[in-house]
Amino acid sequence: MGDLLKKTIFHLIFFHSILFSQVTDCSSVQDPSRIIIAGGSITEIMYFIEAEEKIIGLDVTSVYPEETKKFPSIGYVRNLSAEGVLSMMPSLVIGEDDMGPPSVIKQIMATSVDLRIVPEHHSADGIVKKINCVGKIIDEERLVKRVIRKKIMPSVNQLHKVADKNKKSDIKVMLILSMQGTSPIVAGTKTSGHGFIEMIGAKNIFDSFEGWKAVTAEAIIAMDPDYILIPSRDMHKNSKVATITEHPIFAKTTAGRNKNFIIDDGMAMLGFGTRTIFSALNAAKTISK
Amino acid sequence: MLNGLDRFFRYISLKQLIIFNVLILVLILTMIVGISKGSFDFSVLKYFTGNLTTLEEEVLVNIRFPRVLLAAVVGAALSMSGACLQGLFRNPLADPGLIGVSAGAALGAAFSIVMSAEFFPDFLFTPYLLPLSAILGSAFVISILFIITRGFGFEGMTYMLLAGIAINALAGVGIGILTYISDDAELRGLTFWTMGSFGGVTWNLIIPAIVIILSTIVWTLRISRKLDLLQLGEPEAYRLGVDIKKLRFDIIMSSAIIVGISVSLTGMIGFVGLVVPHLVRLFGGVNHHYLLACSALTGAILMVNADLLSRILIQPAELPVGLITSAIGSPFFLWLIFRMRKK
């Protein structure tokens, strides 16, 4: 403990420059017995492969499944505190690209604690790779391979099949992240939302810009989406979603007229953990009807 | 009303009258341009010949027109309140944000964006929820201002300013805490809201707002003469028969109402309230009859244009309108300061 603290303080003072590329790999660590996870999708995966007994701490985006509440929180994934993380005496910290801030990541890496950043690709195959990667890191490759073969691949293959069919019928879709007091904020390219739309074989009507942006009501009507995806954090609070689905803007679109709103839990849709595959499969089936 | 108009024309000079008329003309033209452009492509002229499809007509009447109208009214409200507050505080840096009302509204809005799912019962979830909580936020600040303004005699202006700073800081803490606990979707909603937008407005949301704002503006125009007298200094104005406490109360309350309503519907739109009165003074002088009326008109013109840019610059996406007003406003303000240095 003393040694670890000394090292931390040393590196707090003398900035250590280690390239991030060194940690975005999936090599196994020596001791995966005490794991801190910073990223909801990885937590989902750990539970899915039933390796949750190794977890000792989680960030605030890890909200699924319900049992995650019992773990101490290390705060927000982009704003971790080195001392807070290290005080829990982890042997391994796993996160995604969004883990930060960089200075804290460097501080943790400079200690004897292992740190791995799992690469993320917004596709079904990307999720499979992510599960594989987590399996390698915690040295459970055989278990993970079996889980993927039995529980994941059937759905992935089915998803590919339905998505390919959807691609031929050119279904126009938009994904609304939030719509409170401003114009709707929708998914452009290079977002998890765009990845989800591509996964289900639909066409994102807002692929002319990057990132999450506000769009005008007129543009939505002019583009006329067939389906509208709404990732909603609180599934039981459907009334919050109703303020979106009943907004007069959408009444003038094909999606609004036919009540073609696809609503699912936000992390299930956009987290790109295991649940995203099943959420995408459901959505793909819905739009293929 | 007639009496008021009579006074209005008595106090303004010929040059100011011409500017006033030109501004009305420009406003009408700007609104026509604003209504005829947008990402949905069709010719507005067809509306008059009845050649629009139902969809085009709905876009025009229910989406674009209320938006342009709201932009004009909010622009007028912010600029007019800026002009009033600059006159009241006799301070060129005063703007609607100064008295803390917009910060209060922002806190209310932030609360509704971040906490609504946890706190409010289901039946409250309507498009009115966010504007209502923003108005509650500004009403709370207004009542604090009410208590403070009652307590001071005519020497209390500095304390009012300081109270505004304190209220702003306090609201900042609240918004900061809400930002910290919000998730990604809420955070994005919050960020976009603080940069302002005229999107998402519907007729039943804006009609009450427009009625209240316009009547408050007309009501405020009556106090122009008192603001002129106030420029001589508070003791002088008092001796000339201006009831300073009442004047201060009237201006702060009317500003609070129109700014509170504006912010609750559109988010934070910066710099208009500060810059427009300076622009108007530059062209035609400091007489408050002229200044208040023309600030309202100029603010409306600028805001309709800023909103037009926000809609068409990167269509189909939309730039936050607060970015545009600040991007135009700040360089202009610097130029004003630069000019003063030469003098």
Picking from B37, B191, B310, B318 by the largest number of A CB atoms within 10 A of its own CB, the best residue to mutate is B318
What pLDDT does residue A235 have? 46
pLDDT in tens, B258-269: 888 898 888 888
* Touching B: A residues 112-131, CB under 8 Å: none
Query: Does any CB of chain A come closer than 8 Å to the CB of residue B170?
Result: no
pLDDT in tens, A209-238: 999 988 988 899 989 999 999 987 654 454
Helix axes B14-36, B288-312, angle to 10 degrees: 20
CA dist A52 and A63 (Å) reads 14
Beta-carbon count within 10 A of B11 CB: 15
Q: A232 - beta bridge partners?
A: A265
Query: Does any CB of chain B come closer than 8 Å to the CB of residue A213?
Result: yes
CA dist A125 and A152 (Å) reads 11
Picking from A216, A238, A240, A250 by the largest number of B CB atoms within 10 A of its own CB, the best residue to mutate is A216
On whether ipTM exceeds 0.90, the answer is: no
Beta-carbon count within 10 A of B48 CB: 8
What pLDDT does residue B33 have? 93
Q: Which residues contact B191 (CB under 8 A, 6 or more apart)?
A: none
What pLDDT does residue B4 have? 62
How many CA atoms are closer than 13 Å to the CA of B192, on its beta-carbon side?
29
What pLDDT does residue A4 have? 59
- A206 and B316: CB-CB below 8 Å? yes
Edge to edge, what strands does the sheet with A114-117 contain?
A55-58, A35-38, A92-95, A114-117
Domain boundaries in chain B? Answer: 2-342
Out of A179, A215, A234, name the one closest to residue B117 (CB). Answer: A234
- Predicted TM-score (pTM) of this structure: 0.81
Chain A residues touching B315 at Cβ < 8 A: 216, 219
Domains and CATH numbers, chain A: 2-145 (3.40.50.1980), 163-288 (3.40.50.1980)
- Does B334 score more than 60 pLDDT? yes
- Pairing relation of β-strands A261-265 and A227-232? parallel
Query: Does any CB of chain A come closer than 8 Å to the CB of residue B61?
Result: no
Instruction: Give me the DSSP letters along B6-23.
Output: HHHHHHS-HHHHHHHHHH
The CATH number of B2-342 is 1.10.3470.10
Task: Using pLDDT thresholds of 50, 70 and 90, give the confidence band for residue B343.
Answer: low
Percent of chain B surpassing pLDDT 70? 93
Distance from the first to the final alpha carbon of chain A = 59
Percent of chain B surpassing pLDDT 90? 23
Residue with tokens 């539970």: A47
Instruction: Say which amino acid occupies A257.
Output: R
Chain A residues touching B199 at Cβ < 8 A: 182-184, 214, 216-217
- Does B338 score more than 80 pLDDT? yes
Picking from A182, A234, A235 by the largest number of B CB atoms within 10 A of its own CB, the best residue to mutate is A182
pLDDT in tens, B39-76: 787 777 777 887 778 888 888 888 889 999 999 999 99
Q: Which residues contact B25 (CB under 8 A, 6 or more apart)?
A: none
Which positions of chain A have pLDDT values less than 50? 1, 13-22, 235-236, 238
Average pLDDT over chain B, rounded to whole?
Answer: 85
Query: Does any CB of chain A come closer than 8 Å to the CB of residue B116?
Result: yes
Name the helix (H) or strand (E) containing A175: strand A172-178
What pLDDT does residue A247 have? 81
Nearest CA to A217 out of A257, A189, A176 is that of: A176
Chain B residues touching A266 at Cβ < 8 A: 183, 185
What pLDDT does residue B83 have? 93
Who has greater pLDDT, B251 or B184? B251
- Does B17 score more than 60 pLDDT? yes
